[in-house]
Amino acid sequence: MKETNRSINIIRVIFMVVSVFIVLFFFLNYSEKMSRPLMDYFTAGFLAETGAQNAVAAIYLDYRVFDTLLEALMLLVSVMEVINVSWAHKEAKQYSLEEELFNRKDNSEIVIRMVGAIYPFVLLIGLYTIFNGHISPGGGFQGGVILATALISRYLVYPNSDLDLEKLENFEKLLFLAIVAIPVLYIFMQVEPFYSLISRQFYMILMNSLIGLKVFSGLSIIFYRFVFYEGR
């Protein structure tokens, strides 16, 4: 590795100190006077403005949608990092149980039967949480985690890797593009066929289902990567 020059290092340190001072100066001198508290702004007319009956959904899908975009990006980056780490020092080969197609020797019969019976109800409650996210507590993230729990409990019953993770990864990236594109069109550029409560609610449901599917695929990828590409 090449040694960096001493003067370049000194310039770097000076640059960092100066930039820290500039940021602190602007941060400490910045003040915005608002006519009313922020809480009143968020809770006064959110139903008319955003079409969501749940104030939390109104905040994370409309008023502060920029935060949601960065959160979705964070999940995408962590999934990519997990994929990157779990490939390291490993052969590009999947561990799979090929001899025995259905390996239920280590699993108890009770768990298999009970998970099979609970499965559809978990899927139902996950979908309900996603589609009712703008009305009742819940939303895309929570519903996506519940759906991922359903897929992960499938591992307890059927511990073979027959999922196509590659497809799931591409699907997640496409979903992230959609999650970025739709708020840009709806909120920032205000491209709407007609501005009404119904079109706003349609936007909420669409965003919630996209976020739910993205969280679902991201958490499933992380889990199946750790299970089949790490450890014994």
Partner 1 sequence: MFQIFLMVGLLVFACFAVFSENIKRSVIYLGIFSLIMTLTYLHYNAPDVALAEAAIGVGISTIMYLVATKKFSIYDICYVNEDVEVFNDESINEIMSNVVRPLEKFLERTEGFEPQLAYTNHPIEKIMQEDNHDFYVHRKGNLTYLYGNKSDRVFQDIVANMDKVIKDIKDIRVIYMDEVGRSERDE
171 binds partner 1 (CB under 8 A): no
68 binds partner 1 (CB under 8 A): no
Coil, helix or strand at residue 5: coil
**Gap between the Cα atoms of 55 and 130, Å rounded:** 16
**Gap between the Cα atoms of 213 and 172, Å rounded:** 8
Least spacing, CB of residue 97 vs partner 1, in Å: 14
Residue range at the interface with partner 1 (CB under 8 A); choices 20-28, 147-155, 183-191, 193-201: 147-155
Closer residue to partner 1 in complex, CB, 146/187? 146
**Gap between the Cα atoms of 212 and 164, Å rounded:** 19
Closer residue to partner 1 in complex, CB, 63/192? 63
| Ranges within 90-109 binding partner 1 (CB under 8 A) | 106
152 binds partner 1 (CB under 8 A): yes
Query: Nearest to residue 44, comparing CAs of 209, 123, 35?
Result: 35
Least spacing, CB of residue 226 vs partner 1, in Å: 8
Residue 158: CB atoms within 10 Å: 16
Instruction: Let me know how long the chain is.
Output: 232
Least spacing, CB of residue 139 vs partner 1, in Å: 7
Encoded amino acid at 115, one letter: V
**Rounded to 5 degrees, what are φ and ψ at 126?**
-65, -45
Contacting positions for partner 1 (CB under 8 A):
54, 56, 106, 129, 137-139, 141-142, 145-146, 148-149, 152-153, 155-156, 219, 223, 227, 231-232
